[in-house]
Amino acid sequence: MSRNIDRILITALIAFFVSCDSSDKDITAFSFTAELNPALTSDVDATIAGTSIAATVPAGTDVTSLRATFSTDGNRVAVGGVTQVSGTTANDFSNPVVYTVVADDGSTKLYTVTVTVAPSSAKSITTFAFTAADNPELASDVGATINGTAIAATMPFGTDVTALIATFATTGASVAVNGTAQVSGETANDFTNPLVYTVTAADGTTRSYTVTVTVAPSSAKELTAFAFRTADNAGLSSDVTATINGTVIAATVPYGTDVTALVATFATTGASVTVNDTPQVSAQTANDFTAPVAYVVAAADATTKTYTVTVTIAPSPAKAITSFSFRSVDNPDLAADVIGTIDGAAIAATVPYGTDVTRLVATFSTTGARVAVNGAAQVSGTTPNDFATPVTYVVTAADGSTQSYTVTVTIAPNAAKAITSYAFLSVNNAGLAADVPATIVGTNIVATVPYGTDVRALVATFATTGASVTVGGVPQTSGATAHDFSTQVLYTVTAADGSTQRYTVTVAIAPSPAKDITSFAFLTVNNAGLTRDVTATITGTAIAARAPAGTDVTKLVASFTTTGASVSVNRALQTSGITANAFTLPVTYVVTAADGTTQSYSVTVTAM
């Protein structure tokens, strides 16, 4: 009995130790669940083939931080030495990831997990337009409407649609029309008939959009001319041309004209014209103009515009001044005609600044029989008058009645707004040793101040023909107001008439005139033949150096410092510590300042 118990114990121990040293190390299941991965909308199960694990996630999935759910009969699982916990540990699956499964006995098995992102099935056209930048025919961009797979755009009247370039955005991989690839903003097509745009998704599926381009009908609906001709109206002794001001048309027919059946001659950009729904034919249709008549013009696009035509019968006691002006041809002081405004019995005209108004000749028209000033008959375009004060024109009608017009001539304020001189005077600027005049070219003012001048608070002295000068809205006083001229300053000159002129003032600082050699030496580090450094003495423009006896002076390299912009010897540019020269005879160093001036130094080397 005790032997049986011993056998059983030994068998159990063997089984225990065998189970503790298991070599199992398989991954038996692998997936990505939507619950643990916000990037997924549904679970993704991987396929395991040998040691290869493959999973395909939906298009657009972010695979940089996916949490895998897996099962294994191994002891533990690691990725790059990091222990993996199923459903918890996140990894970047942008590239294949190697999972190492460690068995109880310490042996390992490598699984390569490859995650593929499915190609996108997106194939929408999200925007569609014709831009003016790509289509010279268009004055402005034309956007299309997308309704399902129908795209519609309406072009302005008159647009040539045979070679339009569309600008579009798509979620697909490519777009084609009749097999021809389309490039947004580049490919031209004939849109005379609807076109089918085929969008191909990354996964190879397609969607077709039908693009229909319509040319809008004309919206023109103007009456461009309106008249009553004697040819069509027996009661008129002469043609009467109407004036068109906006949608108001006015015509004055002679006194005594019968206006109950006048035939109008008109021109229109519209498709049709009606009066009280009755079609109108130019030079044929008669209307009663006793009261204003509404002409309705319909455009091709069915929009309308209404014009009100008012016909006035001239009164028999006509005595109006209907126009008043001063023509340059009659008045040498005027450079251009001056048209007066007539408001009731008041006539006003404004002549340019400087005009002599004591002998102005007026040109006028009147419905009266004659016109007089202080009893003197006036002839339009001939009779001069003194308009220094208001002048009364008396118009006498054919029936003997009169109408007085008061003509007031105003001289326009001065329009001069020039800056005629500009300078920085030493008396106003402590930093200047002498006055600095500026040059004025057009509206650009340029001044150059000496090198070293502080331009941050310069006071300008200027002269102007204007009424005032400002900078940034701040009034300027010549010889008093300071400005920072580190950048350009904009002066605004305002004339007496309120007009303005802007001047840009640029202050440049003259380049430096410095051109001294401040130290000169021959250093052993640059001259192998020297046993010690040799420092030269500088006296005025003479430089003298004493080299040790036996020194070869035919190829010495000088080290120097200078306040100038460059140094040359016989026009050869010198570099301190690098350029060698023969000092058998004195050598002339020419220093050029930043302002282009030069100073020569004579360098003499003596070996002793």
For the chain, the helix, strand and coil percentages under 3-state DSSP, each to the nearest 5: 5, 45, 50
Predicted pLDDT of residue 5: 39
Per-residue exposure over 72-101, b if at least 16 CB sit within 10 Å of its own CB, e if not = bebbebebeeeebebeeeebebeeebebbb
Residues 123-128 have a mean pLDDT of: 96
In this predicted model, what pLDDT tens digit does every residue of 262-288 receive, in sequence order? Answer: 999 999 999 999 999 999 999 999 999
Q: Is the pLDDT of residue 551 over 50?
A: yes
- Tokens 């009749």 belong to 178
Closest CA to 485 of 536, 557, 432, 562: 432
Which of the two residues, 220 and 255, has the higher pLDDT score?
A: 220
Predicted pLDDT of residue 317: 80
Predicted pLDDT of residue 458: 97
- Using CA atoms, how far apart are residues 355 and 334, in angstroms rounded to an integer? 7
In this predicted model, what pLDDT tens digit does every residue of 283-312 receive, in sequence order? Answer: 999 999 999 999 999 999 999 999 999 999
Residues 248-269 have a mean pLDDT of: 94
Q: Which two tokens stand for residue 258?
A: 């019968």
- Using CA atoms, how far apart are residues 78 and 98, in angstroms rounded to an integer? 9
Residues 117-145 have a mean pLDDT of: 95
User: Which residues, 6+ apart, have CB-to-CB distance to 311 below 8 Å?
Assistant: 228, 250, 251, 252, 253, 259, 262, 289
Predicted pLDDT of residue 334: 95
- Using CA atoms, how far apart are residues 153 and 159, in angstroms rounded to an integer? 12
> Which residues on neighbouring strands pair with residue 158, listed in sequence order?
none
Q: Is the pLDDT of residue 7 over 70?
A: no
What are residue 20's phi and psi, to 5 degrees? -70, -20
Residues 19-40 have a mean pLDDT of: 90
- Using CA atoms, how far apart are residues 292 and 237, in angstroms rounded to an integer? 22
Closest CA to 454 of 489, 422, 484: 484
In this predicted model, what pLDDT tens digit does every residue of 498-537 receive, in sequence order? Answer: 999 999 999 999 999 999 999 999 999 999 989 999 999 9
- Using CA atoms, how far apart are residues 408 and 410, in angstroms rounded to an integer? 6
Q: How confident is the model at residue 318 (pLDDT cuts 50, 70, 90)?
A: confident
Predicted pLDDT of residue 256: 83
Q: Is the pLDDT of residue 4 over 70?
A: no
Predicted pLDDT of residue 206: 96
Q: Is the pLDDT of residue 378 over 70?
A: yes
Residues 245-260 have a mean pLDDT of: 93
- Tokens 């070996």 belong to 607
> Which residues on neighbouring strands pair with residue 312, listed in sequence order?
252
DSSP letter at 242 equals P
Q: Is the pLDDT of residue 2 over 70?
A: no
Q: How confident is the model at residue 12 (pLDDT cuts 50, 70, 90)?
A: very low
Which of the two residues, 148 and 529, has the higher pLDDT score?
A: 148
- Using CA atoms, how far apart are residues 183 and 412, in angstroms rounded to an integer? 61
Residues 30-52 have a mean pLDDT of: 96
Closest CA to 553 of 587, 601, 591: 587
CA angle 251, 255, 260 (to 5 degrees): 65
pTM of the entire predicted model: 0.39
- Tokens 């580190």 belong to 486
Q: How confident is the model at residue 400 (pLDDT cuts 50, 70, 90)?
A: confident
- Using CA atoms, how far apart are residues 234 and 494, in angstroms rounded to an integer? 60
Name residue 21's amino acid: D
> Which residues on neighbouring strands pair with residue 268, listed in sequence order?
223
Q: How confident is the model at residue 575 (pLDDT cuts 50, 70, 90)?
A: very high
Asked if residue 361 lies in contact with residue 381, where contact means CB atoms within 8 angstroms, the answer is: yes
In this predicted model, what pLDDT tens digit does every residue of 55-114 receive, in sequence order? Answer: 999 998 999 999 999 999 999 999 999 999 999 999 999 999 999 999 999 999 999 999
Q: How confident is the model at residue 399 (pLDDT cuts 50, 70, 90)?
A: confident
Q: Is the pLDDT of residue 3 over 60?
A: no
What are residue 496's phi and psi, to 5 degrees? -65, -25
Average pLDDT, the chain: 94
- Using CA atoms, how far apart are residues 320 and 365, in angstroms rounded to an integer? 8
Q: Is the pLDDT of residue 15 over 80?
A: no
- Using CA atoms, how far apart are residues 64 and 68, in angstroms rounded to an integer? 12
Measure Cα distances from 491 to 30, 461, 467 in Å: 78, 13, 13
Predicted pLDDT of residue 85: 97
What are residue 361's phi and psi, to 5 degrees? -100, 120
Q: Which two tokens stand for residue 125?
A: 């056209």
User: Which residues, 6+ apart, have CB-to-CB distance to 438 below 8 Å?
Assistant: 422, 423, 424, 445, 446, 447, 505
- Using CA atoms, how far apart are residues 558 and 574, in angstroms rounded to an integer? 9
Sign of CA dihedral 358, 363, 367, 370: positive
How many other β-carbons are positioned within 10 Å of the β-carbon of residue 571? 6
Residue 422, exposed/middle/buried by CB under 10 A (0-12, 13-18, 19+)?
buried
By DSSP bridging, strand 500-509 and strand 444-449 are: parallel
Predicted pLDDT of residue 383: 98
Predicted pLDDT of residue 571: 96
> Which residues on neighbouring strands pair with residue 511, listed in sequence order?
none
Predicted pLDDT of residue 313: 85
Residues 3-20 have a mean pLDDT of: 41
Residues 325-348 have a mean pLDDT of: 97
